[in-house]
Structure 1
Amino acid sequence: MFAEDYNFFERLLHRIALGSATVSAASFEVQRLVANTDTPKVARAKHLFVAGLARAGTTILMRRLYETGRFRSLTYRDMPFVLMPDLWGRIRGRAPASASVERAHGDGIMVNNESPEALEEVFWRVHFGSKYIRPDRLKSCELSAEAVSQFREYLAILLTGTDSGRYLSKNNNNILRLRVIAAAFPNAVQIVPFREPRSHAASLLRQHRRFLRIHAESRFSRQYMRWLVHHEFGADHRPFEFDPATVMVGGDRLSLGYWMRQWVHVYRGLLDTAPPSAVFVCYEDLCREDNQLWMKLTEILELPVVEGSDVGGFVSRNKPCDESLPEGLEANARDLYEVLQRRQVERLSQ
């Protein structure tokens, strides 16, 4: 949703709930006091974590999965007290669905207060932000057994009162901690979408330019994205760091080459760090008319297939981009893209 859609009192509430780490941490502690959870059961469930580089189709994929009705996800209803979702839900009450509006990305995806979104990152920021958030980057890091235990407890709280017992996450920052998630939830599945590199880099560049304009016009919008640790693009862009020797924190961010290098760095890092259970998913393959990849995913995830409902719905919107790239960069990216496709085939054939 547009941060600008909030009125004065809603913005004030967001500043209180999200802008203060003390308030956020306290809200989680209050929720823990009143929660009645079965954390061991939740730890054994087959949850689903969708995480990739932004603009890889993560939102569309997450929505298709959410529409199966088999998962609990955080939605905009849970804002701004996302760390005490059960208690906040009781306080807030059940309001009707709000009118849908196009999200700030301007990409045709409509959202309302019932839309699932990547809001769980508030948990990681509040409790462990100093370990991975830097002024110029987001770092891959090791997390303690205590962190794993607290995240299990948080998911148990989120699943309180639900029938599914399964959590669905779409959080691109989770690419920094896929092994941690695998250790916390050994039966969970991690899906890592990827996309043809030139069109993917071009999409990131377009969004970067768009959010530079938005952030120049709205200080609240920039703060809002910082609270949610959305640094994929815009005035507060911070690249992911898998390897300190190759991460790019400088360079011309208004060039296609910068974003292509980010693509290579991130997906090379993911190939090295993602657990064996991770499923790499090519968005171009999802968009094929035969729907074979989607059907295979529903099988792996133990989801029902309802003819005419759960099939299709993925559309490729790759746009041509003729901007030149440094010599060898696109060839390196294409080679990596082919490696990712082979990894997808190998995992899905198991």
Structure 2
Amino acid sequence: MQTDAYSPIDRLVHKMAFGMPIARGLLHDLETSLYKAQLAQVQVRNPVFITALPRAGTTLLLELLARHGDAVTHSYRDMPFILSPLIWRKLSTRFHVPIAKSERAHDDGMTIDADSPEAFEEVVWLHLAPQNFTPRGIEISTDIPDEVARGLRDHMARLIASRAGATGTPNRYVAKNNADIARLGALRRHFPDAFFVVPVRHPLDHAQSLLRQHLRFGEIHGEDAFARRYMGDVGHFEFGALHRPILFPGFVEETAQLQPDSLEYWLCYWICAYRHLMQREDIIWVDMQRFTRDAEIAPLLRQLDLAEDATVIEAARHTVRPITGYEETAPVAPESLRTALSIHAALCDKAAASG
């Protein structure tokens, strides 16, 4: 949601939820006690992790998959007590009011309301594994302690249980979390039945979008202290004053002479990220140029072992629009662009072969 729409009471509740870890822990423990029997019945199976660098198309894929009858996703209604979705859903229901859709802060034409799906999984990671967040960036995790994995699985079960009684019986956890690209090895180890979905956007187009958002959020963070706090509390460190890059192999060395206010920096970030990811053989790649042109989501549903859902298919046909293009000339090193285009071509081939 737009933080400028938060009332003084909304802001106070947010500050209490994120600023009082003892109270948050007590609520979590109370939820465990009250819903122990219900949680014991929940099976977390075949979770879906939608991840990539931001601005790749992860939000679009989340919006579509969230409409599936089996999908369970975080939504703005889960704020600010993300870690206790069962209790918070019960408590907050009486305060629900209709909220008209409005454009999100990214100024990209995507509209949201209180029931829209959103990327709040990072709150769980901040709670369970704060050591992975260093001042210089987010560390790559090839493994995580068993207790962290259990905590994440427990959260998935809580989210699924919180949706019980809704239309149908949703039971597939679907999360969009850009930072999960730093954890695919760890997630695979502890969730061997998981699906990883990674959209791929043309590198120059993608880098230009990343730079625009970084500059935009830099302005927002400078003007609105609550917006800056909000983004930090929910673990959105992608842009602006809060920017903490994911520390992909080679990234620190290759960007040593670059600054985040340059296009070359973001193109280098793109190269490091997708060079790292392309080594994996367990990713479902989505070529966003082709996907937004054809608006065909049925192949992705099949890859995710999700039944074809008319609501999802119709939503894709009516809401997905082709990527309109990008500036084909930009102040980047020719060598960097050649490297990025080579990686992009290889990943689009992977997407075509699997889809």
- Normalising by structure 1, what TM-score? 0.91
Q: Are 1:267 and 2:274 counterparts?
A: yes
One-letter amino acid matched to 1:185: F
Stretches of structure 2 that go unaligned for 5 or more consecutive residues are: none
Deviations 1:105-135 (A, max 9, x none): 11111111101100121111012111x1111
Give 1:206 deviation, angstroms: 0.8
Given that 1:118 and 1:171 are in contact with CA atoms closer than 8 Å, whether structure 2 keeps it comes out as: yes
Summarize the Cα distance change of 1:310–1:112 in structure 2 as closer, same or farther, 3 Å threshold: closer
Match of 1:15 in 2: 15
Give 1:314 deviation, angstroms: 2.4
Deviates more, 1:117-126 or 1:175-184: 175-184
Count of residue pairs the alignment pairs up = 342
Match of 1:284 in 2: 289
Deviations 1:286-345 (A, max 9, x none): 0123x45x2211222223142861543322143325322123000000011012112223
Task: Give, in whole Å, the separation in 2 of the partners of 1:253 and 1:216.
Answer: 16
Summarize the Cα distance change of 1:231–1:115 in structure 2 as closer, same or farther, 3 Å threshold: same
Q: Are 1:189 and 2:189 counterparts?
A: no
Give 1:28 deviation, angstroms: 2.7
Q: Are 1:344 and 2:351 counterparts?
A: yes
Give 1:180 deviation, angstroms: 2.5
Task: Give, in whole Å, the separation in 1 of the partners of 2:320 and 2:68.
Answer: 15
CA-atom RMSD, angstroms?
2.1
Q: How does 1:60-209 map to 2 (within 5 A)?
A: 60-94=60-94, 95-130=96-131, 132-141=132-141, 142-160=143-161, 161-162=163-164, 163-209=169-215
Task: Give, in whole Å, the separation in 2 of the partners of 1:19 and 1:321.
Answer: 45
Match of 2:301 in 1: 298
Give 1:215 deviation, angstroms: 0.8
Which protein is richer in helix relative to its size?
2
Match of 2:228 in 1: 222
Match of 1:240 in 2: 246
Deviates more, 1:65-74 or 1:48-57: 65-74
One-letter amino acid matched to 2:98: A
Give 1:159 deviation, angstroms: 0.7
Q: Are 1:254 and 2:261 counterparts?
A: yes
Give 1:179 deviation, angstroms: 2.6
Match of 1:42 in 2: 43
Aligned to 1:235, the other structure's residue is in SS state helix
Deviates more, 1:183-192 or 1:7-16: 183-192
Match of 1:332 in 2: 339
Give 1:246 deviation, angstroms: 4.2
Task: Give, in whole Å, the separation in 1 of the partners of 2:195 and 2:40.
Answer: 18
One-letter amino acid matched to 1:329: S
Task: Give, in whole Å, the separation in 2 of the partners of 1:24 and 1:226.
Answer: 17
Task: Give, in whole Å, the separation in 2 of the partners of 1:20 and 1:113.
Answer: 24
Q: Are 1:211 and 2:211 counterparts?
A: no
Task: Give, in whole Å, the separation in 1 of the partners of 2:345 and 2:41.
Answer: 39
Given that 2:267 and 2:340 are in contact with CA atoms closer than 8 Å, whether structure 1 keeps it comes out as: yes
Task: Give, in whole Å, the separation in 1 of the partners of 2:116 and 2:80.
Answer: 14
Given that 1:193 and 1:280 are in contact with CA atoms closer than 8 Å, whether structure 2 keeps it comes out as: yes
Deviations 1:49-71 (A, max 9, x none): 11111000110111011122321
- Normalising by structure 2, what TM-score? 0.90
Stretches of structure 1 that go unaligned for 5 or more consecutive residues are: none
Task: Give, in whole Å, the separation in 2 of the partners of 1:41 and 1:182.
Answer: 20
Deviations 1:66-94 (A, max 9, x none): 12232111111110001000001111125
Deviations 1:252-301 (A, max 9, x none): 222111110010111112223x4x33211111110123x45x22112222
Task: Give, in whole Å, the separation in 1 of the partners of 2:190 and 2:33.
Answer: 22
